[in-house]
Structure 1
Amino acid sequence: MQKVVFLGAGSMAEALIGGWIEKSCVLPEQIYVTNRSDQERLQYLNNKYGVKILSSLSHIQDADLLILAMKPKDVQTAMESLQPYISKDTAILSVLAGIAIETIGQGLGNRPIARVMPNTSATIGMSASGISFNERVSDKQKQDYIKMLDAIGLVIEVDEDQLHAVTALSGSGPAYLYYLIEAFEKAGTEFGLTKEVVRQLMVQTIAGSAAMLQAINEEPDELRRKVTSPGGTTEAGIRALEENHFNETISACVKSAEARSRELAKGI
């Protein structure tokens, strides 16, 4: 893959660029970036990663892979502007939440199209990504895409309709966990600990718990029970979570995000 073009230069585009370059999966000179109007952002990516700025949409004609990474609300306008220039040989990889493969095909023609939902942890090679393909994607292209996404973390192929749930879980998941850390910091500082101390403790706790789940063949509820002594501090904390409808809150969070992904697919 000699020329990869990013249409859109936001946080997800940067996460992929940073992850791929860090793992030498795609070389900086093979990556081109463009967006609607933010030249300063493009210059930042050029300075930081050594990628090239695409000066004109006419230069996408020889692109091997075009990555759609603009805001979902801008996709129709972007596809209209691409139509005169895009080659029939250019494949599409979309990271747009909620925008269906069928919609992209209607806008850019019947070509190999893949949809992936990574997350911003791609920057450090720790993304969790779900990916789906249309029937035009060859086995070789599937292998190439999965190899590229393996370089930035975990990738799992799912049915396209399930990408709404993937978006709600792992796509948005980092924000939920950062929000959780914020809550722990606020609670911990009420007891006189500094925010920095609370953050170190909780980041390591989350990392350790995740590593335990990966390393030990036990269910989360069993590991939780092993920490929860009858009449102890953990039991008191769990009881408070239950009394404040923790499970229902998490369920509502995921369902709301999944529903919003479906709304985006309908252009709402």
Structure 2
Amino acid sequence: MKTIVFIGAGSMAEAVIAGIINQGAIEPQNVYVMNKSDDERLISLQNQYGVSIVCKEKEALKKADLIVLATKPKDIQQAMGDIRPLITNQAAILSVIAGVSIHTLESGLGTRPIARSMPNTSATIGKSATGVAMNTAVDDSMRKHVLALLEAVGLVKEVEEDELHAVTALSGSGPAYIYYLAEALEEAAIHKGLSKDVARSLIIQTLEGAAAMMKSTGTEPALLRENVTSPNGTTAAGLQALEDRFFKEAIGECIEKATARSRELGAQS
């Protein structure tokens, strides 16, 4: 893949740009970025990552092998209208926009290879968890290119398109849930007398260690939890407090609400 053009320059676009460049998936000068109005943002990305900026004549769109759609969902119709006259029939599309369906993209950009994905912001450090679905115009060669690009920024799982709403709720939004948990743990630890520095270091290592245990052992999370929990011990007391506060129910509602919002965004586009 020789030339990639990003439509949109927000946090998700930057996460993917940072990931693919840091992982050496493509030369920075072959990555072009454009957005609706914020030139300062484009210059900032150019200075930080060495990418190219799409100028007003938008010549880069005419030679793009892959166009990455990274606008806000509400802006996708205008973005497609702006770029459709300029892109070739050979250009493939990779969307990282929450909720926007492949059908919507086909309606706006014509019949062409289209992949709809949901990375998360951990793509910046090559640790994204990404779900992707592709239309029937994507052949084996393009599938390999798309998967390789997304694998450069982390783990990739190919799913059915309708499952992307749940993927968005789980791993797309997931880092925010983890940060919220870390925030709550840190506040509680400080309240109990630990310094912020000590609390944060212990929390980070605890999260890393728990994730590594799940990944390296392949053991069910429930069994790992049971292995930590001694009868009538400190862990049991803490878990009981979570159960009393309906922790699992809250997590279930979190995923449910985020999934529903993804569907709403798709319906609005």
- TM exceeds 0.5? yes
1:67-78 aligned within 5 A: 67-78=68-79
Counterpart for residue 29 of structure 2: 29
| Alpha carbons 2:32, 2:60 under 8 Å: kept | no
TM-score for both structures, normalised by structure 1: 0.98
Q: Which residue is equivalent to 1:49? A: 49
Q: What do the CA deviations read for 1:231-266 (whole angstroms, capped 9, x no partner)?
A: 100000000000000000000000000000000110
Corresponding residue for residue 130 of structure 2: 129
In the alignment, what sits opposite 1:14?
14
SS of equivalent residue, structure 2 residue 97? coil
Q: Give 2:186's aligned residue.
A: 185
Q: Distance in 2 between matches of 1:49 and 1:139?
A: 30
Q: Which residue of 2 aligns with 1:38?
A: 38
In the alignment, is residue 96 of structure 1 matched against residue 97 of structure 2? yes
User: Distance in 2 between the 1:3 and 1:217 partners?
Assistant: 39
Distance 1:210 1:176 in 2: 15
* Distance apart, 1:69 and its partner CA: 0.2
The CA deviation at 1:38 is 0.5
**Mapped partners of 2:103, 2:259: distance in 1:** 19
Partner residue, 2:204: 203
Q: CA deviation at 1:59?
A: 3.2
- Residue 227 (str. 1) matches residue 228 (str. 2): yes
2:108 is matched with 107
Question: Structure 1 residue 147: deviation in Å?
Answer: 1.0
Rounded Cα–Cα distance in structure 2 between residues aligned with 1:212 and 1:186 = 25
Superimposed CA distance per residue, residues 213-243 of structure 1 (whole angstroms, 9 cap, x where no aligned partner): 0111311111100100001000000000000
Q: Distance in 1 between matches of 2:60 and 2:222?
A: 54
CA distance in 2, matches of 1:138, 1:213: 35
How many aligned residue pairs are there?
268
Give 1:26 deviation, angstroms: 1.1
Alpha carbon RMSD of aligned pairs, Å? 0.9
Render the CA deviation track for 1:74-99: whole Å, top value 9, x for unaligned: 00111111122121111100000000
CA distance in 2 between counterparts of 1:152 and 1:59 reads: 24
2:177 corresponds in structure 1 to 176
Query: Per the alignment, in what secondary structure is the counterpart of residue 149 of structure 2?
Result: helix
Q: Distance in 1 between matches of 2:62 and 2:218?
A: 49
Q: Deviations over 1:25-66 (max 9, x none)?
A: 011011000000000000000000000000033430111100
Identity %: 54
SS of aligned partner of 1:63: coil
Describe the SS at the equivalent of 1:83.
helix
Give the structure 2 partner of residue 4 of structure 1: 4
Q: Write the deviation string for residues 104-143 of structure 1: whole angstroms up to 9, x where unpaired.
A: 0000101000011000101111100001000000101101
Runs of 4+ in 1 over 3 A off after TM superposition: none
The whole-number CA distance in structure 1 between the counterparts of 2:239 and 2:76 is 44
CA distance in 2, matches of 1:37, 1:85: 19
1:254 maps to 255
Return 5+ residue gaps in structure 2 as ranges.
none
AA paired with 2:213? M
Instruction: Report the AA paired with residue 9 of structure 1.
Output: A
